[in-house]
């Protein structure tokens, strides 16, 4: 128990890094994901094909391979990224691939009649999207988006392999130093559970609020 207290501070430092990676990459992935989804649905054929190819590429390659390509692979071309930057770039690239699909499904799940009604009163494409389609799509997407954030948070553990000091990294460091891996991993587990539990609570709250009209 004494050991756990000793290392709680270090794990907390790791948690800050994990949180930073998750939050920033999620926000960027969502923004890029929305544009990607719109391009995929409404864009010209070449753009639709390009976005589809991107999604297939991201989905088709193992996460660790993608991370290694960005961090190690690019050095061969003179691009030597610091670990944290490489980790963030990978999380955004990876997250965007999945976010595009979530947003696409959400936007397409909004009934056509809703768009038609907005168009019929004279609303333009962007107004219709912003005031009619997206608010409804977000409610439909809440469960998959929650899932997305939780998975993304867990994905951050992979950055341990390129030496970013996240929770996993700190726990491993502690485990090696103390030779008590069980305690350190348990500590890490608690940190992840607290973060993901909080996310679930927030999502449940949002869903309850959004359910008012359903």
Partner 1 sequence: MSNDVAVDVRGLSKHFGDRVIFKDVSLQVRKSEVVAIIGPSGVGKSTFIRCINYLHPFDEGSITVLGHELHGTASGGPPPTRAQLREIRTHVGMVFQTFNLFQHLSVLENIVLGPMDVKKVPRAQAVERAMGLLEMMGLTARANMYPRRLSGGEQQRVAICRALAMDPQIMLFDEPTSMLDPELVGDVLEAIQRLAQEGMTMILVTHEMMFAKEVADTVVVMADNTIAEMGPARQILEAPRTLRAQNFLARVLRRNADEEARLTAMGGDEG
Q: How many Å separate Cα 59 from the centre of its chain?
A: 14
Burial pattern 125-144, b for ≥16 Cβ within 10 A else e, equals eeebbeebbbebbbbbbbee
Q: With binding defined as CB under 8 A, does residue 180 bind partner 1?
A: no
**Shortest Cβ distance from residue 206 to partner 1 (Å)?**
14
Q: With binding defined as CB under 8 A, does residue 209 bind partner 1?
A: no
Span of 23-31, 83-91, 97-105, 121-129 interacting with partner 1 by CB under 8 A: 121-129
Span of 36-44, 58-66, 120-128, 196-204 interacting with partner 1 by CB under 8 A: 120-128
Q: Tell me which of 108, 114, 147, 180 binds partner 1, using CB under 8 A.
A: 114
Contacts of 206 (CB under 8 A, 6+ apart): 142
Q: With binding defined as CB under 8 A, does residue 119 bind partner 1?
A: yes
Separate counts of helices (H) and strands (E) for the chain: 9, 0
The 84-113 site mask, x for binding partner 1 (CB under 8 A), equals ---------------------------x-x
Q: With binding defined as CB under 8 A, does residue 208 bind partner 1?
A: no
Span of 16-24, 41-49, 95-103, 127-135 interacting with partner 1 by CB under 8 A: 127-135
**Shortest Cβ distance from residue 42 to partner 1 (Å)?**
15
**50: exposed, middle or buried (C-beta count within 10 Å: 0-12, 13-18, 19+)?**
middle
Q: With binding defined as CB under 8 A, does residue 135 bind partner 1?
A: yes
**Shortest Cβ distance from residue 122 to partner 1 (Å)?**
4
Contacts of 105 (CB under 8 A, 6+ apart): 141, 144
Span of 49-57, 64-72, 75-83, 119-127 interacting with partner 1 by CB under 8 A: 119-127
Rounded to whole angstroms, the Cα distance separating 106 from 140 reads 6
| C-alpha to C-alpha distances, 108 to 77, 143, 144, 165, 199, nearest whole angstrom | 40, 16, 14, 40, 26
3-state SS assignment for residue 105: helix
- Interface residues with partner 1 (CB under 8 A) are 111, 113-114, 116-124, 127, 131-132, 135-136, 139, 212-214
């Amino acid at each position: 128990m004494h050991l756990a207290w000793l290392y709680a501070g270090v794990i907390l430092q790791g948690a800050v890094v994990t949180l930073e990676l998750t939050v920033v990459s999620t926000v960027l992935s969502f923004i890029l994901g929305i544009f990607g989804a719109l391009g995929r649905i409404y864009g010209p054929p070449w753009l639709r094909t390009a976005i589809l190819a991107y999604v297939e590429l991201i989905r088709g390659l193992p996460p660790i391979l993608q991370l290694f390509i960005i961090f190690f692979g690019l050095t061969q071309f003179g691009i030597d990224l610091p670990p944290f930057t490489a980790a963030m770039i990978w999380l955004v690239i990876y997250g965007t691939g999945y976010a595009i699909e979530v947003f696409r499904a959400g936007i397409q799940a909004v009934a056509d009649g809703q768009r038609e009604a907005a168009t019929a009163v004279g609303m333009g494409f962007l107004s219709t999207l912003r005031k009619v389609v997206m608010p409804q799509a977000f409610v439909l997407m809440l469960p998959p988006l929650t899932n997305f954030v939780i998975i993304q948070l867990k994905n951050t553990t992979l950055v341990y392999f390129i030496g970013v000091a996240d929770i996993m990294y700190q726990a491993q460091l502690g485990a090696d130093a103390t030779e008590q891996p069980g305690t350190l991993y348990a500590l890490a587990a608690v940190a992840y559970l607290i973060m993901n539990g909080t996310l679930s609570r927030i999502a449940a709250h949002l869903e309850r609020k959004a359910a008012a009209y359903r």
